Structure 1
Amino acid sequence: MSGPQCCENPPTLDPSCGSGQLQQFGGLTSYISGPSDSKAAVILISDVFGFDAPNLRKLADKVAAAGFYAVVPDFLHGDPYIPEQKPITDWIKDHGPDQAFENAKPVIEALKSKGITKIGAAGFCWGAKVVVELAKYAYIHAGVMLHPSFVTLEDIQGVKVPLSILGAEIDKMSPPELVKQFEAALNAKPEIDCFVKIFPGVSHGWSVRYKDEDESEVKCAQEAHQDMLDWFAKYLN
């Protein structure tokens, strides 16, 4: 169910990073950034390394700066994957995306109780599987999957809301051939808008695990972030 690309380039986790704040939200410790009176929210769902990853927090702040209420819940309950401690195959048994899908429902209800009327979700690697589940049951108004893991063609065929897929050219988890199958399945449903893009020269995980010193990787990450923001601006505003 997993591959080594899930575990490459682990970030140095920093619980204090970002300009937002930590608070309990929908039953989960969450990093929250952005205007509290916004009517549109974006849930960002981490990869296996969790919600303390600095690049993910930076992206949440970027989402907030665009006017959205950004929420990054700790769907891993304080237990992100640490490669030195156990194989990913063992870790994933206790951290299935199906559990995060269930835990996302109270987060969505908490957003609605704040008066938020439009909700989007972006998922990275492991988190993309959670997004596609939310999209299959229309718990969200739009979704973005970035270098998805564990997502199947059957999942994509069940999607009921606008979906963007941002993939990597060098990706064993969701290779370009599979992403193109996803695109064909979405195009076969004209009632569901989609945007699919494969970024050349980058590997699985790049959008939140880019290295600051790699200019080309940073540029591709920034382009993906903008594509994500454009998608949410289209469907959440």
Structure 2
Amino acid sequence: MSFISACCNTPPVQAEYTATGKTVEHAGLKYYIVGDKGASQGVVFCYDIFGLHPHAYQVADKISLSGLRVIVPDFLQGNPLTMASLSDPSVLHDFKTRRGAWDYNREMFKAAVAILHNEGTASIGAVGFCWGAKLAICALGEDCGIKSVSLVHPSMMELKDFEQAQGPVLLLTSNDEPEMNEEFAVIKAKPVGKLSYQERFPDRIHGFCAARGDFADAAVVKDVNRVVQLTAGFFKETLAE
């Protein structure tokens, strides 16, 4: 399990955005929440290694406009990776084996699901970007209260993640990631395969829908909106009661 190369050599863009949701604290940890409180369907949003970048807020807000309640756990607790830290082997090792590991983040993920349930949201999925996709699919392999996942320009994927997945998967890759046809075939062979879909964005870089995306470029924004549309539609289908 490792980052794809673009994770370590492509910097985040400088951006500004005013979020429309609110930040709440639970057990001393922060969560950003947006969308209709008590909506029947909700999403745990797992950001990339750059944490609560303005684009994370913006994409979460966009997804919420489809009627989904979206919660963004601050897994990195205000201490995201930086380009400088990505060049430090000890920092990368610590992230892969500790801070970024599913075991380290499982309880915060489950707490996010519980927050939505307590608000009245009954049916929940997860969307993950880059490393966040790893958290999302690991959650789908366990009893974490989610039904399906959207994986957007994913990193750190392993075949076993797809073998263990217990729900539908939407796989959205950029030109910088492998097509992952072998992994997706594992999902398609399962009963959940009929609700699983795959689409590639060959003109886009890793991270285009997150911190690395140039949201000033109309062509990029068009594909970001396509990701949002696909993800929202996927959840509307797979989270239906």
Instruction: Give me the TM-score of the superposition, normalised by structure 2.
Output: 0.87
Closer, same or farther in 2 for the Cα pair 1:22/1:80, shift >3 Å? Answer: same
Partner of 1:50: 51
SS at 1:31 equivalent: strand
Gaps of 5+ in 2: none
Secondary structure, counterpart of 2:56 in structure 1: helix
Number of residue pairs the alignment of both structures matches:
230
Within the candidate set 87, 100, 108, 2:105 is matched to 100
Residue 27 to residue 165, structure 1, CA distance change in 2 (3 Å):
farther
| Alignment deviations for residues 26-49 of structure 1 (CA, whole Å, 9 cap, x no partner) | 652111111112122111101000
- Give the Cα separation in 2 of the matches to 1:111 and 1:37: 8
Q: Distance in 2 between matches of 1:41 and 1:233?
A: 10
Alignment-derived partner of residue 91 in structure 1: 91
Instruction: Measure, in 1, the Cα distance between the counterparts of 2:58 and 2:75.
Output: 18
Pairwise CA RMSD: 2.0
Greater mean deviation of Cα atoms: 64-73 or 182-191: 182-191
What's the offset of the Cα at 1:144?
0.5
- SS of residue paired to 1:198: strand
Percentage of pairs with the same residue: 28
Instruction: Report the residue type matching 1:30 in the other structure.
Output: Y
Question: Retained in 2: the 8 A contact 1:45–1:72?
Answer: yes
Residues 153, 46 of structure 1: alpha-carbon distance in 2 compared, 3 angstrom cutoff: same
Aligned match of 2:25: 24
Query: Which letter does structure 1 place at the counterpart of 2:215?
Result: D
String of CA shifts for 1:73-123, please: whole Å, max 9, x gaps.
Answer: 100011101112453643341422311233211221222222221011100
What amino acid is the match of 2:174? A
Q: Which runs of 5+ in 1 are unaligned?
A: none
Which portions of structure 1, spanning 4 or more consecutive aligned residues, are displaced by more than 4 angstroms? none
Distance 1:20 1:68 in 2: 13
Helix, strand or coil: the match of 2:236? helix
Q: Aligned partners of 1:147, 1:50: CA distance in 2, in Å? A: 15
1:234 to 2:237 alignment: yes
1:149 is aligned to 2:155: yes
Give SS of 2:80's match. Answer: coil
TM-score, structure 1 length as denominator? 0.89
* Structure 1 residues 89 and 222: CA distance shift in structure 2, 3 A: farther
Higher relative contact order (CA 8 A, sep 6+): 2
Match of 1:67 in 2: 67
Moved more, 60-69 or 117-126: 60-69
* 1:111-149 Cα distance to aligned partner (Å, 9 max, x none): 222222101110000000000111111420111110111
1:127 alignment counterpart = 132
